[in-house]
Structure 1
Amino acid sequence: MSQESLPATVFRGGTTKGIYFTREHLPADRDEWDELLLKTFGSPDPKQLDGIGGSHSTASKAMIISAPEDDDVDVEYLFAQVGIEKPVVDWGGNCGNLTYAVGPYAMERGLVDPETEGGEVNLTLRNENTGTVVEQSVPVTDEGDPQYRGDFRVYGVPGTGARIGSRFLDPAGSVTGSLFPTGNRIDTLSVPGVGEVEASLVDVSSPCVFVRAEAVGMTAAELPKEIDSDPDLLETLEAIRSQAAARLGFVDDASDATAESPGIPKMAVVGEKQPYQSSIGEEVTPDEYDLLARIMSMQKAHHAYSITGSMCTATAALFSGTIPNEFLANDDTDQVTIGHPKGTLTVGVGREGDDVRYTEAARTARQIMHGDLFYLPSQ
């Protein structure tokens, strides 16, 4: 049977790479999308050899972009996390890093025709997975095209690029409807094979579960290769995450979490500040960051730190009574810098009492290719 094709674009957004589609180019039947995406990325296969995937969760993601049905926003987008070794597509959350390429993609594909103000374009985006609205500022060239060259550095991305700012509005309760979905700032999870583990379950931009590093035999200064090479640790972290998924109602049985809700909640570990060597060979000292943390992505250690996860981490740290707050020296601030495996990441938090008005951070993005994506249709 001959192959079929559709237009697709590869973009790097922040420390993540993904495939972007315009919604009208996908099959009209939404039920066909999962199979199409699995074929696109070459899943299930650990090397994703027969597709365009990068054999890692940060390169096995898709964004579907569309013009809005109303005038409230400029662009709408839908995120999909595509499994690598398992034939699963998780539509449960958002990818903050890839969000930074949504504006540039919409501009490149002619989905928007915005006015330039002061060398940049200001767009309003809506994530369909969570309903979150994002205000995004995209630098432009003299011709009005997205600007990719610049001197802004993102730890985890080679070189520098143009600074793209994104502010996530009213991000609390993105999936569960509540900042603290269980009503508690610390819960005790009974984890088979592990025992009782204290955890903070927080939902800002994306639901996350936070544990103390010492509770799982870590320091939170470990590099991804250390975490991923320890099968017992990976099993422990996933067992905790699975119990949290059940507690949050994402699955009926914790044993189904890896298959049915692999992307959310995200699993994060926080620990005492200390100097450490980054995975790119640079020394990171305690005075360079506020909070030491590591976060997981699809059952493996994230090579840097997810944006939605960082926004949840930073916000959780500013609320007394949470586990992240225990490790933050000063919570009277509107920004938190996280020490992660590649370096640091600063997140701004607009908070009024117990209300989280916004979270924000800056990233870079770059269009890598655009063309025809070929795939074998179902027989």
Structure 2
Amino acid sequence: MRGGTSRGPFFLASDLPADRAERDRLLISAMGSGHPLQIDGIGGGNPLTSKVAIVGPSARADADVDYLFAQVNVERALVDTAPNCGNMLAAVGPFAIEQGLVQATDPVTRLTIYNVNTGKRIEATVQTPGGVVTYEGDTAIAGVPGTAAPVKMAFLDAAGSKTGKLLPSGAALERIEGVEVTLFDMAVAAVLADAASFGKTGHETPAELDADRAFMERLDRLRRDCGQRMGLGDVTQMVIPKPILLAAPSPGASITARYFMPHSCHTAVAITGAVCIASACCTPGTVAHRLARLPEPDAQGRRVLIIEHPSGRTPIEIEQDPETGRIGRAMVIRTARRLFDGTVHVRDHVA
């Protein structure tokens, strides 16, 4: 399935081994990881197309389904289940309905998804006219050609997704390795930095940033240092925290961002990353807040921020308590599409 700007296989949890090591070996074989083209599997040779969603019924009273996300490394035989993926999340609702895990209603179906990676819940609204999932619609999102049916997702109490704290170090702004950064954990653990601190404008293309090896090495050193400070330990083999470069926005946007996965620049922006950026923009004292152009909130503390990225712009609605400043909900609209279904064959030695 395509979920947002990502793509990958969706598995029922009951169809995969319960043992984590055995499950990971199966996923590595299925995706063909360990080769830059993933030539011996169904991966797409890119981090955005080497993702896996594992979905099953939830035993929790406050959720309908459980969703475990797995980032399968392209060139190395590694599986990382530390982060969530908000783009793949967009297809979880349609998948769960079509697999009979959730009963569809007319004209939309609302369900609550428990993200196993982060221990957080997301409310999804899927278009189901006549009780049947539809992928056809008029909604366009940056980074995906054409239009499709909207999938509305509301992240609930997403602060502290991996560290347990919105500000893992307790500070909104600090200087690490000569760079002013904000260590921020909202939907995803991230390191936010002003692009100017690296001599960048923040408007470079992903290819330009990836080609600057000295910059990429410096960024990863900073990421590893920040990972320790955030209580995540040695993050060398992990994809979090995500480094994010920020800059003042163009007219009509709230902030400009370059999001890293972490060893290459995203051609758009991850949805969890967009939620993180928008929330940081609304948090006084952060790097993001200093650079952002913020719209005024309504009486309920809601406002829509526009994240500018290499593929276009992504709107995020933030609901923030006017008195405490606490961010309770972050809502985004994505699209999804079912691409094919069938059997993927794995090597005999992993079965």
**Which bracket does the TM-score occupy, shorter chain normalised?**
over 0.9
- Secondary structure of 1:288 counterpart: coil
- Partner residue of 1:271? 247
Structure 1 position 354 matched with structure 2 position 299: no
Displacement, 1:115?
A: 2.6
Whole-Å Cα distance in 2 between the matches of residues 208 and 28 of structure 1?
30
**Is the Cα contact below 8 Å between 1:210 and 1:270 reproduced in 2?**
yes
Separation in structure 2 between the aligned mates of residue 65 and residue 139 of structure 1, nearest angstrom: 19
Check conservation: 1:174, 1:206, Cα contact below 8 A.
Answer: yes
> How far does residue 216 in structure 1 lie from its aligned partner after superposition?
1.1
Counterpart in the other structure of 1:245: 227
C-alpha separation in 1, matches of 2:197 and 2:156: 33
Give the counterpart of 2:166 among 179, 182, 205. Answer: 179
Name segments (4+ residues, structure 1) moved above 6 Å: none
2:86 is aligned, of 96, 103, 113, to: 96
Q: Identify the structure with bigger relative contact order (alpha carbons < 8 Å, sequence gap 6+).
A: 1
Q: Which amino acid aligns with 1:173?
A: G
User: C-alpha displacement at 1:331, in angstroms?
Assistant: 5.9
Look up the match of 1:283: none
SS at match of 2:93: helix
- TM-score, normalised by the number of residues in structure 1: 0.88
How far 1:47 moved relative to its partner? Answer: 1.1
Q: Does 1:368 align with 2:346?
A: no
Letter of the 1:21 counterpart: F
Give the direction of change, closer, same or farther, for the CA distance of 1:215–1:373 in structure 2 (3 Å limit). same
Q: 1:189, 1:199 within 8 Å by CA — same for their partners in 2?
A: yes
Matches of 1:289 and 1:154 in 2, distance apart? Answer: 15
How far apart are the structure 1 equivalents of 2:174 and 2:34?
A: 35
Q: Deviations 1:80-107 (Å, cap 9, x if unpaired)? A: 1111112211111100011110000011
**More off after superposition, 239-248 vs 312-321:** 239-248
> RMSD of aligned C-alpha atoms?
1.3
1:121 pairs with one of 109, 113, 120: 109
Task: Name the counterpart of 2:135.
Answer: 148
User: Partners in 2 of 1:21 and 1:298 — Cα distance?
Assistant: 25
**Structure with greater strand percent:** 1
Match of 1:317 among 242, 264, 281: 281
Counterpart contact for 2:7–2:50, Cα < 8 Å: yes
Asked if structure 2 preserves the Cα contact closer than 8 Å seen for 1:335 and 1:347, the reply is: yes
Aligned to 2:202: 220
Taking the aligned partners of 1:70 and 1:184, their CA distance within structure 2 comes to 34
Query: Which whole-Å CA distance do the structure 2 matches of 1:378 and 1:125 have between them?
Result: 34
Q: Which amino acid aligns with 1:179?
A: L
Q: What is the CA deviation profile of residues 329-356 of structure 1, one whole-angstrom value per residue up to 9, with x for unaligned ones?
A: 3364322101100000011111112321
Gaps spanning 5+ residues in structure 1: where? Answer: 1-10, 191-195, 274-285
Residue matched to 1:203: 185
Measured in 2, the distance between the counterparts of 1:161 and 1:366 equals 8
Worse overlay, 214-223 or 337-346: 214-223
- SS at 2:26 equivalent: helix
Specify the alignment match of 1:137 in structure 2. Answer: 125
Residue 165 of structure 1 is matched in structure 2 by 152
Residue identity over aligned pairs, in percent, reads 36
Q: 2:272 aligns to what? A: 308
TM-score scaled by length of structure 2: 0.95
Give, in whole Å, the separation in 1 of the partners of 2:8 and 2:228.
29
Letter of the structure 2 residue corresponding to residue 347 of structure 1: I
Q: Deviations over 1:129-173 (max 9, x none)?
A: 11111111000133x221111111101000011111000100111
CA distance in 2, matches of 1:238, 1:219: 19
Moved more, 361-370 or 35-44: 35-44
